[in-house]
Structure 1
C-alpha cells in the first residue's frame, strides 16, 4: 500500500485498484476520521463496516454514499482511542483474509466436486 500526503487534512492511499482518501478528523484527535473510498459502492462499504464492527476498539462506524451518481463511499470510524487509520487498515486486512479463506474453501470444493464426478462416471454398471 503506497501512502501519499496530499495536504495537511487529507491523505491518499493507493492499493491495487482501491483509492482511499481521509477527509476529516486528522486534526488533534486521531481516534475519529471519515474516509472516502473512490470507485466503490455498498458491496465493499458494507463488508468493511461489518468487519470494523467486529473490532472491540470501535465505538462507532458507519458509511454513506453521498450521491448515487458519485462512485464514492464515506466510511466514518470512531475508536476507543487507537488511531482510526490503523483500525481501518487492520479491518481491511482482516476482510482480505476472510475473502481469501472463502476463495480457498470454494476452490477446494470445486476440485472435490470434479473428482467425485470422475469417480461417479467410472462406477457405471454394464
Structure 2
C-alpha cells in the first residue's frame, strides 16, 4: 500500500492532513474511518474516492493537538488488531 500526503495542507499544521492511498477504496476507507472517529482527540475523519476510474482514496484527519500522521498510524494498527481478532475467531469455529 502506497500512502502520500495531498499537497496544500502545509499551512494548517500537523493536526490537519489529507492522505492519498493508492490502490485502495471504500473497503479500507470506511473501516479505518470508523476506528479513527472513536479517538477522543479527533475532530473530523472522513474519506472520498475521487472518481471510480481512479484507483485511489483520499483520507482526511483533523485533530485538536495530536499530529494527524500519529493518528493515522494508530488507526492502521488498531484496524490490523481487529482483523487479526476476526480471523482468529473465525478459525476457532468448525466450518
Give yes or no for TM over 0.5. Answer: yes
- CA–CA distance in structure 2, aligned partners of residues 80 and 40 of structure 1: 27
Q: What residue number does 1:108 align with?
A: 92
Q: What residue number does 1:121 align with?
A: none
Higher relative contact order (CA 8 A, sep 6+): 2
CA RMSD of aligned residues (A): 1.3
For each residue in 1:48-97, what CA deviation from the matched residue of structure 2 results, as whole angstroms up to 9, or x when unmatched? Answer: 11111111111001101111100100001001111000001000000000
- CA–CA distance in structure 1, aligned partners of residues 26 and 82 of structure 2: 18
Which residues in structure 2 correspond to 1:36-47 (within 5 Å)?
A: 36-47=20-31
1:27, CA displacement in angstroms?
Answer: 4.3
Structure 1 unpaired stretches of 5+ = 1-17, 115-126
Q: What residue number does 1:74 align with?
A: 58
Q: What residue number does 1:53 align with?
A: 37
1:26, CA displacement in angstroms?
Answer: 3.8
Number of positions where the alignment pairs a residue of Structure 1 with one of Structure 2? 94
- Structure 1 or 2, whichever has the larger Rg, is 1
